[in-house]
Amino acid sequence: MENLATTKVEKREPLKRIPRIHSIDFLRAIAILIMITGHFGLWFLNGDELSWGWWDWYGMWFGPIGAPIFLICVGFSLVFYVENKKIKFSEKEIRNAIFRRGFFIWGVGYIINLLTEPISRLWIWNIIVLIGFSTIIAYFLLKLTMPQRVIITCILLILNPLSQLIGILTFHNIWGIWVWDPFLLHDILGHTIEIHDIWNPFSFNMVLIGTIIGTTTRNKIREGKMSSIPKMYIIYGVLICIFGALIDPNLRLPGVMSLIQEFEHEIHIIFSTGVFLSFFGLFFWLQDIKMRNLPIIREITNLSPLSFTIYVVHLLFAKYFVGPILSSTIGAFTLNKFISDPFIKTVIYFVIFKPGNLIATYSLQIVTFSFTFFMWIISIFWMRFKMKYSLEWVIRKLS
């Protein structure tokens, strides 16, 4: 019989809280800046500016860094949120907190649709709705092993082009039956939700990839191998970027283009993942290992704690401030109706705003910088009051 007195009882060390990953905060701030600039450009640039390929140029250089990286950060942060919550809370409490967070974000997304879109587009999957959905689903997928999550990611990558090939793109939304006046049913039920929006480049796939990267990072930190993270991610990131570039549908490869074009979104996801890994490896080494918080990095990161609020504000700003100005019959003069000097009015109208009630590229830079600078000031001020009553504050209270 085994001697109980000499039996070694293996005690599991209590989990220690993992410190905040500063490089993720920085990348989230960079992503929100790029998203705002891209949206303002698409919404406000005049036809001449867009016709020379501004959107294509911007998308080529910054597309992989905007929404995809923001969504990867969502999945990454979820891993560390759950990991640190395990120290003090039960599995049930964590699950309930995730549900509250997810449904709140989901609800905010539909409220934004109600405020900024026609009623027929109430149920579209904007990125806010997507984040709420992804938060809940990704939490349950965290219980799966890493290989299982990788397999699910690959399946979703394949499903999207297949759904396009066989024509299964949409399903009808019936939620409106229980909510809206019958006179609006035609508009609401006539609108369809694009299924592939759930796993396109601005999609759940990026969040799922974020959980894979987050889990890998967490394991390395728990194993005391934090110093190996930058090199590993930079190498993998560069290799993935090269692979993504080689299979880009813009490359004219004889005999395979028809197939590759069906996977254009999936190639975008692959390339964006490589970009994220490369940048994260670099800034993780700089900020989280070397602890070098350069002034420019520190100031940009100040936008991160309020990134959700800033994103919502930029939608409302575009809808209710800039939009009406640009669409009014007197264009830029509406903005300057209290300026009496005719020369200043002329300069503002013909130099800053081009005829056609939409702005030029250099004016876009002014609008974007002004909005960003204003939100940066607000962020610094708001953080002094612990971000009370911001969307992030509400989410924190719910969880």
pLDDT at 193 over 80: no
Higher-scoring residue by pLDDT: 224, 53 = 224
Tokens of 335: 């903005």
Q: Give the residue-averaged pLDDT of 291-301.
A: 89
pTM score: 0.78
- Among 3, 52, 18, residue whose Cα is nearest residue 361: 52
Residue 164 identity: Q
Q: What is the mean pLDDT of the chain?
A: 75
23-41 burial, b if ≥16 CB within 10 A, otherwise e? Answer: bbbbbbbbbbbbbbbbbbb
- Among 196, 193, 207, residue whose Cα is nearest residue 67: 207
Q: Determine the Cα–Cα distance for residues 88 and 346; give it in Å rounded to an integer.
A: 63
Q: Determine the Cα–Cα distance for residues 113 and 149; give it in Å rounded to an integer.
A: 31
Highest mean pLDDT: which of 227-236, 321-330, 348-357? 227-236
pLDDT at 351 over 50: no
Q: What is the pLDDT of residue 274?
A: 92
- Among 148, 155, 135, 20, residue whose Cα is nearest residue 71: 135
Cβ neighbours around 339 below 10 Å, total: 12
116-147 burial, b if ≥16 CB within 10 A, otherwise e? Answer: bbeeeebbbbbbbbbbbbbbbebbebbeeeee
List, for residues 362-372, the tens digit of each pLDDT value.
677 788 888 89
Are 387 and 393 in contact, with CB atoms under 8 Å apart?
Answer: yes
Q: What is the pLDDT of residue 72?
A: 93
Q: What is the pLDDT of residue 83?
A: 92
Tokens of 199: 């796993």
Place of tokens 């939608």: 315
Highest mean pLDDT: which of 5-14, 192-201, 205-214? 205-214
Higher-scoring residue by pLDDT: 50, 354 = 50
Are 33 and 300 in contact, with CB atoms under 8 Å apart?
Answer: yes
Tokens of 49: 């500016």
Highest mean pLDDT: which of 24-28, 32-36, 67-71, 332-336? 24-28
Residue length, the chain?
399
Are 32 and 303 in contact, with CB atoms under 8 Å apart?
Answer: yes
Higher-scoring residue by pLDDT: 133, 265 = 133
Q: What is the pLDDT of residue 66?
A: 83
List, for residues 18-38, the tens digit of each pLDDT value.
888 999 999 999 999 998 988
- Residue 65: burial class (beta carbons within 10 Å; 0-12, 13-18, 19+): buried
* Lowest-confidence pick of 27-31, 64-68, 237-241, 334-338: 334-338
Q: Determine the Cα–Cα distance for residues 245 and 267; give it in Å rounded to an integer.
A: 8
Tokens of 16: 């220690």
SS (H, E, C) the chain: CCCCCCCCCCCCCCCCCCCCCHHHHHHHHHHHHHHHHHHHHHHHECHHHHHCCHHHHHHHHHHHHCHHHHHHHHHHHHHHHHHHHCCCCCHHHHHHHHHHHHHHHHHHHHHHHHHHCCHHHCCCCCHHHHHHHHHHHHHHHCCCCHHHHHHHHHHHHHHHHHHHHHCCCEEECCHHHHCCCHHHHHHHHHCEEEHHHHCCCCCHHHHHHHHHHHHHHHHHHHCCCHHHHHHHHHHHHHHHHHHHHHCCCCCCCCCCHHHHHHCHHHHHHHHHHHHHHHHHHHHHHHHHHCCCCCHHHHHHHCCHHHHHHHHHHHHHHHHHHHHHHHHCCCHHHHCCCCCCCHHHHHHHHHHHEECCCEECHHHHHHHHHHHHHHHHHHHHHHHCCCCCCCHHHHHHHHC
Q: What is the pLDDT of residue 3?
A: 43
Higher-scoring residue by pLDDT: 355, 160 = 160
Higher-scoring residue by pLDDT: 158, 172 = 158
Higher-scoring residue by pLDDT: 72, 259 = 72
Q: What is the pLDDT of residue 285?
A: 94
Q: What is the pLDDT of residue 196?
A: 38
Cβ neighbours around 7 below 10 Å, total: 7
Q: What is the pLDDT of residue 325?
A: 61
